[in-house]
Amino acid sequence: MKYGVIVFPGSNCDHDAYHVISKVVGQPVDFIWHKETSLDGYDAVILPGGFSYGDYLRAGALAKFSPVMKAVKKFAAEGKFVLGICNGFQILCEANLLPGALVRNKNLHFICKHVKLRVENTNTPFTIETKKGEVLSIPIAHAEGNYVCDDETFSELEENGQIVFRYCNDEGEITDEANPNGSRSNIAGICNKDRNVLGMMPHPERACEDLLGSTDGLKIFSSLTKTIEQIEKR
Amino acid sequence: MKAKVYVTLKPGVLDPQGKAIHHSVELLGFQNILDIRQGKYFEIELNGNLSVSEANDLVSKIANEVLANPVIENYRVEIES
């Protein structure tokens, strides 16, 4: 099993993701510079948070033209696993690997705080270690996390179980008050139809050790690791 | 030869920045302002050998692939020869 963490100019959560995979999950992991053109040998890649290309034009808009993104598209089409966190989610949307877009937070603020997420679909490679309706405590840190999509896309997301995480209150209820950024239907994370590509605004890599106040994020990395182990056993 | 590209949010996509500007404009006492929406404007210098229609095709392609995100934005291209 091998993980890769893609490094764009301006990525700043790449070391956090690398740390979690290598030290907490305990799996082999490499940094992958955005100029790479092949992802052969990897089972999963993480597009980390940060400000790729300074968020110029739109968040994630220029990173989608990095050479590695062609390889990421091929990798995703082969059914390998792609996890986009925060800026990584924005890049996946810009690159059309996930539907919709992330626009400026409704209140215009950069929001950095722990939020509660409700797991909406446990039947994805990223959530098999969670329970349906489980409430996770994971921090967000973004100014453009307001998920938008048209009605047709939204219906498809719902029908296909592509909405994986929603912002909720402590009781797991989906309310307007619990929605930090104005996202449609409190959406915090979605996957593609094949469920091998996940994008989420919250930062699970910042919630994997007790010292950081929550270990709920680890469930996402351990789910993915378990999925890859199951594939390797076949 | 110059191209101008205007990128605007699609109707219905919330524009919190436009709303904040609108709010400030009202605070300053300007009246009769119903709404403000913010967009982006690009000036692109082109090789003068292009015909207007070639220039329009080229810049439209750039606008569609790079300058605008068609999921949330519309664009309009003007060519000045």
Count of CB contacts below 8 A, A vs B? Answer: 36
pLDDT per residue over A160-214, tens digit each?
A: 999 999 999 999 999 999 999 999 999 999 999 999 999 999 999 999 999 999 9
Q: Which of B16, B67, B69 sits opposite A106 (nearest CB)?
A: B16
Cα–Cα distance for residue pair A198/A223, rounded to 1 Å: 12
Q: Which of the four pLDDT bands, split at 50, 70 and 90, describes residue A140?
A: very high
Q: Do B71 and A149 touch (CB under 8 A)?
A: yes
Is A108 near chain B, with CB under 8 Å? yes
Sheet containing B39-45, strands listed edge to edge, beginning at the edge strand earlier in sequence: B39-45, B2-9, B73-80
Q: What is the CATH number of domain A3-233?
A: 3.40.50.880
Q: Do B71 and A107 touch (CB under 8 A)?
A: no
Q: Which residues contact A217 (CB under 8 A, 6 or more apart)?
A: A20, A136, A138, A202, A203, A204, A205, A206, A207, A208
Q: Which of B14, B66, B72 sits opposite A106 (nearest CB)?
A: B14
Cα–Cα distance for residue pair A5/A172, rounded to 1 Å: 31
Residue ranges per structural domain of chain A? 3-233
Tell me if A74 sits within 8 A of A33, measured CB to CB.
Answer: no
- How are beta strands A81-85 and A3-7 bridged, if at all? unpaired
Integer CA distances (angstroms), A125 to A113, A122, A160, B49, B66, in order: 26, 8, 15, 53, 32
Q: Which of the four pLDDT bands, split at 50, 70 and 90, describes residue A234?
A: confident
Q: Which of A58, A99, A106 sits opposite B69 (nearest CB)?
A: A58
ipTM of the complex: 0.87
Q: Do A107 and B16 touch (CB under 8 A)?
A: yes
Residues facing B7 on adjacent strands? B40, B75
Chain center to CA of A184: 17
Is B72 near chain A, with CB under 8 Å? yes
Cα–Cα distance for residue pair A107/A49, rounded to 1 Å: 21
Which one of A106, A148, A149, A157 makes the best mutation probe of the B interface by having the most chain B beta carbons within 10 Å?
A: A148
Active site (annotated) includes residue A19:
no
Give mean pLDDT, residues A41-62: 96
The label of the residue with tokens 């009202």 reads B26
Tell me if A200 sits within 8 A of A162, measured CB to CB.
Answer: no
The label of the residue with tokens 């400030």 reads B24
Cα–Cα distance for residue pair A214/A189, rounded to 1 Å: 19
Residues facing A48 on adjacent strands? none
Could you say which of A86, A149, A191, A208 is catalytic? Answer: A86
Report yes or no on whether pTM surpasses 0.90: yes
Is A182 near chain B, with CB under 8 Å? yes
Residue ranges per structural domain of chain B? 2-80
Residue B81 has pLDDT above 90, yes or no: no
Cα–Cα distance for residue pair A127/B21, rounded to 1 Å: 41
Q: What is the pLDDT of residue A113?
A: 96
Give mean pLDDT, residues A47-68: 96
The one-letter code for the residue type at A189 is G
Active site (annotated) includes residue A86:
yes
The per-type count for chain B, helices as H runs and strands as E runs, is: 2, 3
Active site (annotated) includes residue A152:
no
pLDDT per residue over B51-71, tens digit each?
A: 999 999 999 999 999 999 999
The CATH class of B2-80 is alpha beta
